[in-house]
Amino acid sequence: MPKSTLSRLGKLKKSKEIYLDYAAATPLNDKVSLLMQKVYEENFANLSSIHSLGVNSKKILEQAREDVAKILEARPSEITFTSGSTESNNLAIIGVLNATKEKFPHIITTNIEHSSVLEICKHLEKIKQAKIAYVEVEASGIVNPKKIKQALRPDTVLVSVMYANSEIGAIQPLREIAREIRHYNKIHSKKIIFHTDATQAINYLPIQVPKLGIDLMSMSSVKFYGPKGVGVLYVKKNTAIGKIMFGGNQQFNLRSGSYNLPGIVGLAEALKITEKLKNKEVIRLTKLQDYFIRKITSQTFTPLIINGGLINRLPNNINITIPKIPSDLLVIELSARGIMTSAKSACKSGDGKASHVITAIRTAERGPNVGKEFSESLRFSLGRQTTKANIDYTIRTLFKILLKLKKWYN
């Protein structure tokens, strides 16, 4: 690497930056990084090879699978490694359709799911391979399980509801939804499959699958201080699901392709660390979240809305709307002062459209004719390196920016 580049990287590392975008991506844990480097150097052989290097690499893979399964209270055979939550969600939804005998299957989801769920559903509608029910959430961002119950039909094959929302942190009542599905299945002698995208939940919520009552669960390592480009789809035993990729028939003939062994080992290690830290981090971040909200709502000169409810919310999430102030402008202004935030889900940040999540909860709150100025949003997501001092500086800086932008209120 050229010396000038190394010098520039050194300066970047020393610069004062406050990262408040942990919901988009988390930094790689140092212990995870070292372990992955060791695997890169020593376990490069193809896991399908029958020579000693390949066999040893396969043992390392299966140990990682067992480690993940133990945390989820699942069987190792129920753990499929993927490239991340987007692939896991695609495999879950399209895989169920590939296995169903229903000619024109019905799928139920909510109107605030991640784009990797909603875009699949829209595509399936467009090509007329499925009928989709988009259940509307309440103003809190939480879906009423009774609405899911009302949407169930004889031709329903799948319900997909995320565990926690990436933009407003709303935690969905998975157990109650699972109970409604089980009751319907029992009465009608059916097997409606229940999938959840748990990407944002892993750091802070219980993820033991028997207690959640789910059949399929997606996650991505980059959200819990692991490497990018690796994820998991939990598939409960005897769940009817077909593959969507064809090739070498790896992973119980469900997901073909060479294994990303360093990434998989990194994911397993990151998940173990996360489980150890979870309880303490939830307590610490809940205090910081409460402090952040108290501080940011104490100023009266700025009309400000906290998006989503304050209960049943992830402890690291603060999402606000400042009417008439473009969110992207605030993100850029804060970034120029060393504070990293986001306007909405990172996967949709560049599309120039209002957040579908904020639009949905504002519509539930105010009705269908909500002005665009009420659909703007600014998300602060806290993490392991966030301190009280970071929050104080962020709020002071935000209000200085808003004072300069008062013309937007006129």
Helices 115-126 and 85-99, packing angle to 10 deg: 30
Helices 261-297 and 52-72, packing angle to 10 deg: 30
What is 232-284 written as a DSSP string?
Answer: EEEE-TT-----S--SS-HHHHTS-S---HHHHHHHHHHHHHHHHHHHHHHHH
Residue 143's SS3 state is: coil
The residues assigned a catalytic role are: 347
**Quick one: CA torsion of 359, 216, 175, 152, rounded to 10 degrees?**
70
Residues contacting residue 1 through CB under 8 Å, at least 6 positions apart: none
Separation of alpha carbons 24 and 34, rounded Å: 23
Contact present, 217 and 196 (Cβ < 8 Å)? yes
Separation of alpha carbons 287 and 281, rounded Å: 10
Residue 406's SS3 state is: helix
